[in-house]
Amino acid sequence: MEGVKHNRFGPVIFSKYERGSAIERALAMSREDILFELKNSGLKGRGGAGFPTSTKWMLTAAAISDKKYLICNADEGEPGTFKDRVLLIEYPELVFDAMVVGGYTIGATEGIVYLRGEYEYLLDSLNDYLNGMRKDNLLGENILGKKGFNFDIRIFLGEGSYVCGEETALIESLEGHRGEARNRPPYPVNTGFMGKPTCVNNVETLATISHIIVKGSEWYKNFGTSKSKGTKLFSISGDCEKPGVYELEWGMKISDVLKLVGAKDTKAVQIGGASGVCLNSSQFDRTLAYEDVPTGGSIIIFNKKRSMLKVLKNFMEFFVEESCGQCTPCRIGNVKLLEAVKMIEENKLTFGYLKKLKELAETMKIASKCGLGQSSPNPFLSIIENFKEEIFNYAGGGEYAKE
């Protein structure tokens, strides 16, 4: 059963933190100072897209409006990702405190947590937690005595749609529409929820902010590489002895990660969930960092027994089901890529057609309306490229094969 708290160790997110301390600290700072701290920390969005968090906050803070919103994106739907679940169960204070800090910084009065429907079992405990915060004046009016600073948080439950993790689709969903991504520009920082400036942050981004506010950006910058500051939560699963959530500094080699989690006979690693890329063993010395292999933190490990074609099929089936269906490249493109996998299974795919499909995949990446269609060809391209010997049975041996 879920809900059990573990003892976790990590340099930043899993380091010691007391509820409310980020709020207390932030309220003693000016908004400019908070934004400076964030900028100095180099924190980038932890949902996967990697947009600088300080810029997002700055733009929302600069937008002029009678009402602004801060939204916590807890629609963690990427297969192989579960770090937000752990944060919400075990470290809700990090997430909610940062939302209050965000509300203070950007001038929002309302925070909304968009919680994926699959996590409905967390709803009651999270609401209880929020009530506790209200009781202690960490939410509500004149928070911690700061006159005129009012902020509250409510939780909105998703209804089972992966694409709602895309921020504009998420906003559409909040407004009671189909979760179809909007045209951008205008961006949510100008025209977001209910047409008001809206800042959408990932759960982990927020959790990190709480620590940065309390301990300072200089401290945070001690971790990671020169271009990728700080740490990252990794959801590690698949063929390994110790699956789970790990807080690791940016810049770690994939092979070291594999060692850490007790992976043996590893053939492939899917980085970034279904929409990420799949690497083969020749690439395991690459590092996890924005400058090399950027990721939203999902690592799925496959050992030598796994059929990569089946893996790819599972991914493509997922995208065909979860595409919202509004734009052509994503709606039909994913179907064509899935068909291709089936053609390979039936030994019907010609290399001529495969070439066309690769071009199609490139088109999907640049012409789809939102991130879903722009990233769904990633597993197709990387698995077909990195595992072509296996998939096209280069060394199968024909009738001389064992089976």
Partner 1 sequence: MRKNNNVRAPESQKRLKVKIADNPEDIGAMVHIEINEKKVSVPLGTTILEACRKNQIHIPTLCHHDDLCIAGVCRVCVVEVEGMKTLQAACSFPITNPVKIKTTSPRVRRARKNILDLLLSEHYGECYACVRNNNCELQALAKEYGVDHYNFGHIDKPKFQVDNSSYAVVRDMNKCVLCKRCVRTCIDLQEVGVLEAINRGEATYIGTFFDKPLADVICINCGQCINRCPTGALHANDPRDEIWAAIDDPEKHVIIQTAPSPRAAIGEEFGLEPGHSLTGEMNTALRRIGFDAVFDTNFAADLTVMEEGTELLLRLYKALAKGEPDVAIPQFTSCSPGWVKYLEHFYPDFINHLSSAKSPQQMFGALLKTFYPKIKNIDPANIVTVAVMPCAAKKFECNRPEMTDSGYKDIDYGLTTRELAQMIKEAGIYLPELPKSGFDDPFGDATGAGLIFGATGGVMEAALRTVLELVTGDKIENIFENAEIKPVRGFEGIRYAEIPVTKVGKVPGIISHLIPDFEWLKGITLKVAVAHGTANAKKVLEDIKNGGKFSHCHFIEFMACPGGCLGGGGQPIPTNAEIRRKRAEAIYKEERTLNYRKSHENPKLIRLYNEFLTDGPCGSVSHKLLHTTYTKRGSFIV
Partner 2 sequence: MFVEEKSDIIDEIDKLIAKYGRNRSALLPVLHGIQKKYRYISDFAQQEIAKKLNIHPVEVYSVITFYSFLNKEPKGRNLVRICKSIVCDMKGKDAIVKALERELGIKMGETTKDKKITLEYLNCLGLCDKAPAMAINDRVYTNLTPEKAVELVNKIK
Among 175, 218, 291, 359, binds partner 2 (CB under 8 A): 175
For residues 53-82, which are near partner 2 according to CB under 8 A?
Answer: 76-82
What is the distance between the alpha carbons of residues 366 and 381, in angstroms, rounded to a whole number?
14
Among 400, 396, 402, smallest CA distance to 307 is for: 396
Question: Nearer Cβ to partner 1, position 230 or 294?
Answer: 294
Q: To the nearest whole angstrom, how small is the minimum distance from the Cβ of residue 212 to partner 1? A: 28
DSSP letter string over 332-380? HHHHHHHHHHHHHHTT---HHHHHHHHHHHHHHHHHSSSHHHHHTHHHH
Site size toward partner 2 (CB under 8 A) is 52
Instruction: Name the minimum Å distance from CB 154 to partner 1.
Output: 20
The rounded distance, in Å, linking the Cα atoms of 302 and 272 is: 14
Q: Are 229 and 250 in contact (CB under 8 A)?
A: yes
Q: Which DSSP helix (H) or strand (E) runs through 259?
A: helix 254-261
Parallel, antiparallel or unpaired: strands 277-280 and 266-271: antiparallel
Residue 397: other Cβ atoms inside 10 A = 9
97 lies in the site for partner 2, by CB under 8 A: no
Residue 289 makes contact with partner 2 by CB under 8 A: no
Given the complex with partner 2, which of 193 and 290 has the nearer CB atom? 193
- Shortest distance, position 370 Cβ to partner 2, whole Å: 15
> What is the number of alpha carbons within 13 Å of residue 86 lying toward its C-beta?
17
The span from the first CA to the last CA of the chain, in angstroms, equals 42
Say how many CA atoms lie within 13 Å of 386 toward its Cβ.
21
> For partner 2, which is the closer residue by CB, 40 or 109?
109
Span of 41-49, 133-141, 320-328, 360-368 interacting with partner 2 by CB under 8 A: 320-328
In the complex with partner 2, the residue whose CB is nearer, 39 or 306, is: 306
Q: Which residues of the shown chain bind partner 1 in the complex (CB under 8 A)?
A: 161, 163, 168, 171-172, 175, 177-183, 185-186, 191, 195, 320-329, 331-336, 356, 359-360, 362-363, 365-369, 374
Verify binding: residue 270, partner 2, rule CB under 8 A. yes
- The binder of 309, among partner 1, partner 2, none, by C-beta within 5 to 8 A per type, is none
Give the pairing of strands 110-115 and 152-157. parallel
Alpha helices in 91-186 (DSSP H): 92-106, 123-135, 167-174
Maximum pairwise Cα distance, the chain: 81
* Cα gap 308→305, rounded to integer Å: 9
Q: Which stretch binds partner 2 (CB under 8 A): 30-38, 233-241, 288-296, 365-373?
A: 233-241
Q: By CB under 8 A, tell whether 318 contacts partner 2.
A: yes
Q: Does 331 bind partner 2 (CB under 8 A)?
A: no
149 binds, among partner 2, partner 1, none (CB under 5 to 8 A by kind): none
Beta bridge partners of 287: 253
Smallest gap from residue 392 Cβ to partner 2 (A) = 22
CB 288 to partner 1: min, Å: 21
Residue 93 binds partner 2, judged by CB under 8 A: no
Q: Is 134 exposed, middle or buried (0-12, 13-18, 19+ CB in 10 A)?
A: middle
**Binding segment toward partner 2, per CB under 8 A, in 7-15, 174-182, 197-205, 250-258:** 174-182
Chain residues 103-162 in contact with partner 2, contact rule CB under 8 A = 116-121, 156-162
Residues near partner 2 (CB under 8 A) are 1-2, 76-82, 84-85, 116-121, 156-162, 173-179, 194, 235-239, 243-245, 270, 274, 300, 302, 306, 311, 314-315, 318, 321-322, 324
